[in-house]
Chains A and B, each alone.
Chain A
Amino acid sequence: MIFATVMFWAVALALVASSLAVVLTPNLFHAVLYLAAALVATAVVFLLLDAAFLFAVQLLLYAGGIVTVMVFAIMLTERLTGQRLTQTNRHVVNGAVMSFAVFVGVAGFIMRSNATAAAPASADRTLDIARAIVGPFAVTFELLGVLLVAALLGAVYFARTED
């Protein structure tokens, strides 16, 4: 139990630090690397919460997929423009105030809803997720798929060359 608590705080600290680094570092490539670190830390938080499936999906889709695509975009644009991209932000203070307000709001909401985190009854949570997706949430799941296809088509539409 102590081990889990220590692990949680260590991972949480790493998560917060790398998330801050994502928005504060001027080097865009470093920002993406910090983002990868933050996503991996999030995955480890899932693992500590006994959600192994979410851990794997988080790594596969975000740390493996999204970060790869972002790096691809940065590399391509740097090559095309031939100059280092830098991240500038004139709204650091405003951003800090806003994010602190959101944090207080969410934290207050969580603390007032006195739902204790009870572990689900079933031992195999992956199976529960699978049953939920093809069972009660089948329509939602399919609608999400349609939404993503629409987004993909929209991206293709905007990216097409005029000819």
Chain B
Amino acid sequence: MSVPPAVSMFIAAFILLNAIVGVVTYITLLERKFAARMQSRIGPYYVGWPHGWLQPIADAVKLMIKEDIVPAPADRAVYNLAPLVFLVPCMLVFATIPFAPGLGVADLNIGVLFFLAVSALEIVGLFMGGWGSNNKYALLSAMRAVNQIISYDLPFIFAALVPVLLTGSMQMSAIVGAQHGLAGWFVLYPVIGQLAFVAYLIAALAAENRVPFDILEAESELIAGFRVEYSGMKFALIQLGEYAHMLGTSFLGALLFLGGWLGPGPAWLGPIWFLLKAVFVFLILTWVRWSFVRIRVDQILAISWKLLLPATVVLLLATGFVVAAGGGRGL
């Protein structure tokens, strides 16, 4: 019996979505454990003894049974829609990521561009939340978010375009395919690869609003930023979206620079390699988050416009020259 493509795609998307939600809940535990270790603590321990294996489940259940509060002066429709509008792009980015050859929902030939374009939509949900809450902290946070996203979208895109240029294709599977062989990973590409990877990580930190770029949640001044008024399931959705976006960015980084599913061993190990590499990227970001202090708004803008943006433009130009000197690939 043959299944129509729409149905099989729907099933693939359903499985992927559930897998992502599962991984995302456990990646929060990983982060908490990692952060605790960095601060000489143990972290969650008693829920699901030992080492708190059931902590994420307990957190999820707790959030689900919490009271759902809508502030009286809030813009109800906007306030209620915001978590959904925030979550959908964060989940949609996984649609084009292939986890092994042929294992993914849709390996579009504009894969990387699709990822970048869809994750640019996340900001709409963010400022809907910030505005709809009708709270000055939330509004300030949304303004800072808009400011930061405008500044860091371009360096992020330019850094992600370096592997695309080296491959000559925006298709994710083609980018992984171009990284075959010993030292074939783009992060090992002389000079350009390392610089692009570092730029990617910095811009990813900013795009995910993590320390040192977390001025929009800044718990000491803005409490929790745009999500300050949210509670219960809506808060859970925003958290889920945020971590899903982080995971997606980690997967994209592992795919663009660390060779995706390539690794020693039989082919079925591919997805596991890929997951491990994505977790590695995630841990780098977490490591930075728990070691640095928050920097000021003007410093954040200066880093982007005066350093990161020119640097990535020059990097992209240099990559273009390298590709042209090598006779050009792809086209």
- B120 at interface (Cβ–Cβ under 8 A)? yes
Shortest distance between the CB of B110 and any CB in chain A (Å): 5
- B331 at interface (Cβ–Cβ under 8 A)? yes
Q: Using Cβ atoms and an 8 Å threshold, which residues of chain A touch B109?
A: 52, 124, 126
Q: Contacts A56-B114, A60-B113 hold; do A126 and B146 have CB atoms under 8 A apart?
A: no
The stretch of A9-17, A67-75, A100-108 that contacts the partner chain: A67-75
Please tell me which one of the listed residues A57, A58, A75, A131 contacts residue B143 in the complex, with CB atoms under 8 A apart.
A75
Say whether A72 contacts B116, CB under 8 Å: no
Say whether B78 contacts A30, CB under 8 Å: yes
Say whether A60 contacts B116, CB under 8 Å: yes
- B149 at interface (Cβ–Cβ under 8 A)? yes
A64 to B127, CA, bound (A): 12
Among residues 118 to 136 in chain B, which have CB atoms less than 8 Å away from a CB atom of chain A?
118, 120-121, 123-124, 127-128, 131
A55 to B113, CA, bound (A): 10
Q: Contacts A3-B6, A33-B78, A75-B139 hold; do A59 and B117 have CB atoms under 8 A apart?
A: yes
Q: Using Cβ atoms and an 8 Å threshold, which residues of chain A touch B120?
A: 59-60, 63-65
A72 to B139, CA, bound (A): 11
State which size class the interface on B falls in: 20 to 34
- A8 at interface (Cβ–Cβ under 8 A)? no
Shortest distance between the CB of A143 and any CB in chain B (Å): 21
Q: Contacts A33-B128, A53-B110, A124-B109 hold; do A64 and B146 have CB atoms under 8 A apart?
A: no
Say whether A68 contacts B149, CB under 8 Å: yes
Say whether A52 contacts B108, CB under 8 Å: yes
Determine which residue in A57, A58, A65, A69 has the highest number of CB atoms from chain B within 10 A of its CB, and name it: A65
Please tell me which one of the listed residues B118, B128, B142 contacts residue A59 in the complex, with CB atoms under 8 A apart.
B118
Please tell me which one of the listed residues B117, B121, B131, B143 contacts residue A29 in the complex, with CB atoms under 8 A apart.
B131
Q: Using Cβ atoms and an 8 Å threshold, which residues of chain B touch A3?
A: 6
Q: Using Cβ atoms and an 8 Å threshold, which residues of chain B touch A130?
A: 331
- A127 at interface (Cβ–Cβ under 8 A)? yes
A75 to B142, CA, bound (A): 9
Q: Using Cβ atoms and an 8 Å threshold, which residues of chain A touch B157?
A: 60
A131 to B123, CA, bound (A): 32
- B57 at interface (Cβ–Cβ under 8 A)? no
Q: Using Cβ atoms and an 8 Å threshold, which residues of chain B touch A67?
A: 124
Q: Using Cβ atoms and an 8 Å threshold, which residues of chain B touch A36?
A: 124
Number of A-B contacts (CB under 8 A): 75
A75 (CB) vs chain B CBs: closest residue: B143
Say whether B147 contacts A56, CB under 8 Å: no
Among residues 142 to 169 in chain B, which have CB atoms less than 8 Å away from a CB atom of chain A?
142-143, 146-147, 149-150, 153, 157
- A40 at interface (Cβ–Cβ under 8 A)? yes
Q: Using Cβ atoms and an 8 Å threshold, which residues of chain A touch B150?
A: 65, 68-69, 72
- B170 at interface (Cβ–Cβ under 8 A)? yes
Please tell me which one of the listed residues A30, A40, A71 contacts residue B127 in the complex, with CB atoms under 8 A apart.
A71
Q: Using Cβ atoms and an 8 Å threshold, which residues of chain B touch A40?
A: 121
A57 to B6, CA, bound (A): 25
Say whether B124 contacts A33, CB under 8 Å: yes
A69 (CB) vs chain B CBs: closest residue: B150
Among residues 42 to 97 in chain A, which have CB atoms less than 8 Å away from a CB atom of chain B?
52-53, 55-60, 63-65, 67-69, 71-72, 75-76, 79
Please tell me which one of the listed residues A30, A75, A127 contacts residue B146 in the complex, with CB atoms under 8 A apart.
A75
Q: Using Cβ atoms and an 8 Å threshold, which residues of chain A touch B110?
A: 52-53, 56, 126
Please tell me which one of the listed residues A59, A69, A79, A124 contacts residue B121 in the complex, with CB atoms under 8 A apart.
A59
Say whether A64 contacts B117, CB under 8 Å: yes
A53 to B6, CA, bound (A): 21
Shortest distance between the CB of B326 and any CB in chain A (Å): 18
Interface residues of A (CB under 8 A from B): 3, 29-30, 33, 36, 40, 52-53, 55-60, 63-65, 67-69, 71-72, 75-76, 79, 124, 126-127, 130-131
Name 20 interchain pairs, CB-CB below 8 A, sorted by A.
A29-B78, A52-B114, A53-B110, A55-B117, A56-B113, A56-B117, A60-B116, A60-B157, A63-B124, A64-B117, A64-B121, A68-B127, A71-B131, A72-B143, A72-B147, A75-B127, A75-B131, A75-B142, A76-B143, A79-B143
